[in-house]
Amino acid sequence: MSEDGSIRELDGKTVERIAAGEVVERPASVVKELVENSLDADATRVSVAVESGGKDGIRVEDDGIGMSEAEVRKAVEEHTTSKIRDIEDLEAGVTTLGFRGEALHAIGAVSRLTVETRPRGGDRGTRLRVEGGEVTSVEPTGCPEGTTIEVEDLFYNVPARRKYLKQDGTEFAHVNDLVTSYALANPDVAVALEHDGRETFATTGDGNLQSAVLSVYGRDVAKGMVSVDADGAGDGDDFPEGPLDGVSGLVSHPETNRASREYVTTYVNGRYVRSATVRDAVVEAYGNQLAPDRYPFAVLDLSLPADTVDVNVHPRKMEVRFADAEGVAEQVRTAVEDALLREGLLRSSAPRG
């Protein structure tokens, strides 16, 4: 409380930095926003490079639709988006990953941000810099089609925030999880990640999930993956009735497992989500083939009618809320179990239902 206990109005800069903190928590949240923007911009290639876990530098480069000078000037302002016009658009259902129009502005408020961008087919590029929320320069530049965004000195002007960032390795682990999940969700996009000048992984963008898993997790994991493809369309499997229209993706051989939950990656209608419901159902399908506290590798996309799931519970946490979580769990477990059984990797006496 202030000294005299009076209520006062906060100045604009303070409000802006507090608001930015809601969007930008750590380097991984910056990476998430930038990668989503690249995917929304129809990129076929997205390259992410970070320095010191992202604390010193984050660069995301894409070959997407790019922006004109007028567009990039607008894009870094508050609440500006090209993705929806009004609440009706939002209620009609958004197909883009972003729509809030706050990320670039928020990132620019708490870092030194450089955008270099050229529209597809455009004859010139623009380089725009923002420092601590102020646009400090806009100039023409020669650059390839697409957009490159560089974020330096994250939280340089919010020292309390900067102090709470973890060690480089921990911050990078968050970045890696995130970029991995987008790479696996978009096998048709060539996604690359680099840390302090060393390549972590690079997918080919050939559209094949198996090859994306190979690029990200390596041959030993990829070779034993089993395909899951349940849609209740009566092709011999016994996918039960329920909220899901289908479950598809890859799960690992039971012997390929880890002590971390991180390798069960789940999507809802192609959108990356975190869901303990789904993860637990996957683990359950392995029955006693997995030791306690061991987890398989899995990349699973659940398809279901958009109105039976809320994926926007929280913009940052990627949580998901199912209208019928039990029904979802039952279908996921059955789909994975059937896939493992089909490959002879489970005893058919595994407990069911």
| Interface contacts to ligand ADP, rule CB under 6 A | 33, 37-38, 41, 62, 64-67, 75, 80-83, 98-105, 147
Q: Of 295, 278, 275, which is closest to residue 286 (Cα–Cα)?
A: 295
| Paired tokens of 206 | 């050939």
Site string for Mg ion, 310-349 (x = CB under 5 A): ----------------------------------------
State which residue, 103 or 264, has the beta carbon closest to ligand ADP.
103
Backbone angles phi, psi at 62, to 5 degrees: -135, 165
Q: Cβ 98 to Mg ion, closest distance in Å?
A: 3
Q: Of 184, 249, 181, which is closest to residue 213 (Cα–Cα)?
A: 184
Q: Cβ 103 to Mg ion, closest distance in Å?
A: 4
State which residue, 35 or 282, has the beta carbon closest to Mg ion.
35
Residue 81 interacting partner from Mg ion, ligand ADP, none (CB closer than 5 to 8 Å by kind): ligand ADP
DSSP letter string, 212-240: HHHHHH-HHHHHT-EEEEE--SSSS--PP
Backbone angles phi, psi at 345, to 5 degrees: -100, 0
Mark the segment that binds Mg ion (CB under 5 A) among 30-38, 112-120, 197-205, 291-299: 30-38
Residue 334 interacting partner from ligand ADP, Mg ion, none (CB closer than 5 to 8 Å by kind): none
Q: Angle at Cα 50 formed by Cα 120 and Cα 103, nearest 5°?
A: 60
Residue 10: CB atoms within 10 Å: 10
Site string for Mg ion, 93-132 (x = CB under 5 A): -----x----x-----------------------------
Q: Cβ 101 to ligand ADP, closest distance in Å?
A: 4
For position 265 contacting Mg ion by CB under 5 A, the verdict is: no
Q: Cβ 340 to ligand ADP, closest distance in Å?
A: 39
| Paired tokens of 172 | 């990078």
State which residue, 98 or 119, has the beta carbon closest to Mg ion.
98
User: 123: exposed, middle or buried (C-beta count within 10 Å: 0-12, 13-18, 19+)?
Assistant: exposed
What is the C-alpha to C-alpha distance for residues 73 and 67, in angstroms, rounded to an integer?
A: 9
Residue 327 interacting partner from ligand ADP, Mg ion, none (CB closer than 5 to 8 Å by kind): none
What is the C-alpha to C-alpha distance for residues 251 and 263, in angstroms, rounded to an integer?
A: 10
State which residue, 103 or 250, has the beta carbon closest to ligand ADP.
103
Backbone angles phi, psi at 166, to 5 degrees: -85, 180
Residues making up the chain, counted from first to last: 353
For position 257 contacting Mg ion by CB under 5 A, the verdict is: no
DSSP symbol at 241: P
| Paired tokens of 180 | 């991995």
Mark the segment that binds Mg ion (CB under 5 A) among 29-37, 162-170, 178-186, 340-348: 29-37
Q: Which residue is nearest to ligand ADP (CB)?
A: 98
Residue holding tokens 């004109």? 68
Q: Which of 29, 37, 38, 114 binds Mg ion (CB under 5 A)?
A: 37
State which residue, 33 or 131, has the beta carbon closest to ligand ADP.
33
Residues in region 267-286 near Mg ion by CB under 5 A = none
Sites of contact with Mg ion (CB under 5 A): 37, 98, 103
